[in-house]
Amino acid sequence: MAETLRDRFWLWGHEAGCYHRHANNAWHIPGASSLVTPAEAASSLGIPNVMMVRFGNQPQPPFRQHALPLLPLQHFIWSIVGDSGSTDNDRQPDIAAVLALLPEFPNLTGAIMDDFFRRDAQCPGRYTVEQIAAFRRQLRSGPRPLDLYVVTYVQDLDFPIQAHLEAVDAITFWTWQAAQLHDLEANFSRLEAIAPMKRKLLGIYMWDFGTGAPVPMDAMQHQCRLGIEWLRRGRVEGLVFLASCIADCDIEAVAYVRRLIAQVGDEALPIRR
């Protein structure tokens, strides 16, 4: 069967309700709470792949019980370095816990490092280039190799991160503040100049976490339109929608993404030679 656009869509996954619990809902997510799990959210949006990431040190390893609902998915990735609040991972990545999933989960295909870069020219990453290279070797030493992904924000491009990006397999690129989305084309070109040979996925926020408010719909449509265009052209290899724990909230951008995926998801990807 021909590969479709839907096959290249990913959902960013966190434990249910974690954004509402974070700092008394500091991001002003609508509603009292969110109950949807990553697997449920992926099903409701029509997305076959999940990037599961620890948030605020949760979930704690071992991860098997949390990964079981992801078994029916096409692919999933698990974080070895969680969000900036996952301080456990400032001391040690979760490589052993992720590798332990391999025998039982044939659809586990990679690992990701979230909130990896710091605004520090002398020490721009939570780990050094040499440590990243060692992580990648470990991830390739199991029963089957896992790819290593890293999160990169627009603001990270102002720091010396090229060597860190060269040490990973793929980059997910994010625009933290919706107001910056009008510069998305220029900023993505900056990333391409820094890491021209690396595989790239475009991260798409369904909430403006930079201001704790809805993403304006013109900006939402703009980033999705560019992302789908770049996916069709092969400029990116996937789109990552964030996040599972707002998929059951009354958010216009979430409803828009659900409709968009239903509309374009079954479109065949061009075959590239």
Residues 46-73 have pLDDT tens digits of 999 999 999 999 999 999 999 999 999 9
CA-closest candidate to residue 262, choices 45, 58, 75, 54? 45
Residue whose tokens read 């990679």: 110
Task: Over range 98-124, report the average pLDDT.
Answer: 96
Given this model, what pLDDT does residue 235 score? 98
Task: Over range 96-118, report the average pLDDT.
Answer: 98
Answer yes or no: is pLDDT of 273 > 70: no
Given this model, what pLDDT does residue 113 score? 99
pLDDT band at 268, cuts 50/70/90? very high
Task: Over range 115-139, report the average pLDDT.
Answer: 96
Mean pLDDT of the chain: 97
pLDDT band at 142, cuts 50/70/90? confident
3-state secondary structure the chain: CCCECHHHEEEEECCCCHHHHHHHCCCCCCCCCCCCCHHHHHHHHCCCEEEECCECCECCCCCHHHHHHHCCCCEEEEEEECCCCCCHHHHCCCHHHHHCCCCCCCCEEEEEECCCECCCCCCCECCCHHHHHHHHHHHCCCCCCCEEEEEEEHHHHHCCCHHHHHCCCEEEEECCCHHHHHHHHHHHHHHHHHCCCCEEEEEEECCECCCCECCCHHHHHHHHHHHHHHHHHCCCCEEEEECHHHCCCCCHHHHHHHHHHHHHCCCECCCCC
What is the value of pTM for the model shown?
Answer: 0.98
CATH number of 7-263: 3.20.20.80
Given this model, what pLDDT does residue 271 score? 83
Given this model, what pLDDT does residue 170 score? 98
pLDDT band at 272, cuts 50/70/90? confident
CA-closest candidate to residue 70, choices 236, 204, 244, 260? 244
pLDDT digits (tens, 9 = 90+) for 14-44: 999 999 999 999 999 999 999 999 999 999 9
Give the rounded percent of residues in the chain with a pLDDT score beyond 70: 100
